[in-house]
Structure 1
Amino acid sequence: MNSPLGQLLNHCRILVVEDEYFIADDMAKALESLGADVVGPASDQQKALALLSSTEKVHAAVLDINLRGCTAFPIADTLIEQGVPFVFTTGYAPASVPPIYADIPRWEKPFNYNDLAQSLPDLVRNG
């Protein structure tokens, strides 16, 4: 990838947690187009937490809030403990996010996967 955009996330490990296959796949492709190394995608809490404990540290994460009837909040807590910046993605109203996560960036579905991917370099730098 020779374009500047192709290097925005060069060698950044980004965890993707999304239970809808096509959304996860499109998001992963958008991140990879910017040079990211995608970890996952994980479709549930258990898989995401296993990835976080068994792989190299991730630089950032994208978490769908609702994962097959469970929330991604335990994953968010682990990322906070590890000092890893992340964003939430959701189709639910802002009130569905507990106040403890009020400062976490939130992308409301549907959104443009490329726009989300292009926002992550700032998150990684400022995280």
Structure 2
Amino acid sequence: MSVSNSDLSSSASPSDDSQRASDPLLGRRLLIVEDDPYIALALEETLSEFGLIIAGMARSLEEAVRLSRGDGVDLALLDVNIGHEKIDPVADALAARGCPFIFTTGCGRAGLPEAHLERAMVEKPFYVEEILAALRAELARAEER
């Protein structure tokens, strides 16, 4: 599954100062877990343009687990399948410390970890607006708790 840069393009301008100043994502530290290097790079470049700070980029489950246990992450974007491994331990670690996250997948809800079926999900291929909206919604939900 690949996502082209055009899939991550946006009609929204990341430089619209009036909207950016009030964006709850501005300055938040994001962990991206994605095993496809092209998707990972496109996400990193695009999401940083919208004011997110990329706190970590993991392409393996081991690295993702390590990064998810640190306190330098405010929210996370998790690919459900990392190679042949499932993202479950990373989702569990983030949930245990109350860190909001969303899943990305090409498999639909059936592929989500059983313990996290209620979490937000964005299906591949996706657009940046979908990712941003899901991250904002999950952050708001976490702040209500």
TM-score w.r.t. length of structure 1: 0.87
Matches within 5 A, 1:13-92: 13-54=29-70, 56-92=71-107
Gaps of 5+ in 1: none
What letter is aligned with 1:72? Answer: I
RMSD value, Cα = 1.8
SS in 2 for 1:57: coil
- Post-superposition CA distance 1:66-102 (Å, at most 9, x none): 1011011100000010101111101113222243211
Q: CA deviation at 1:2?
A: 5.8
Point out 4+ residue stretches in structure 1 off by more than 6 angstroms: none
User: Structure 1 residue 120 and structure 2 residue 135: aligned?
Assistant: yes
Count residues in correspondence.
126
SS in 1 for 2:50: coil
- Post-superposition CA distance 1:16-36 (Å, at most 9, x none): 000011111111122212211
- 1:3 corresponding residue in structure 2: 17
Q: CA deviation at 1:63?
A: 0.2
SS in 2 for 1:46: helix
Aligned mates of 1:105, 1:66 — CA distance in 2? 16
Contact 1:91 1:108 in 2 (8 A): yes
Contact 1:30 1:114 in 2 (8 A): no
Contact 2:69 2:93 in 1 (8 A): no
C-alpha change, 1:69 and 1:82, in structure 2 (3 Å) is same
Q: CA deviation at 1:120?
A: 1.6
Fraction of identical pairs, as percent:
29
SS in 2 for 1:19: coil
**Which piece of structure 1 moves more, 96-105 or 39-48?**
96-105
- 2:5 corresponding residue in structure 1: none
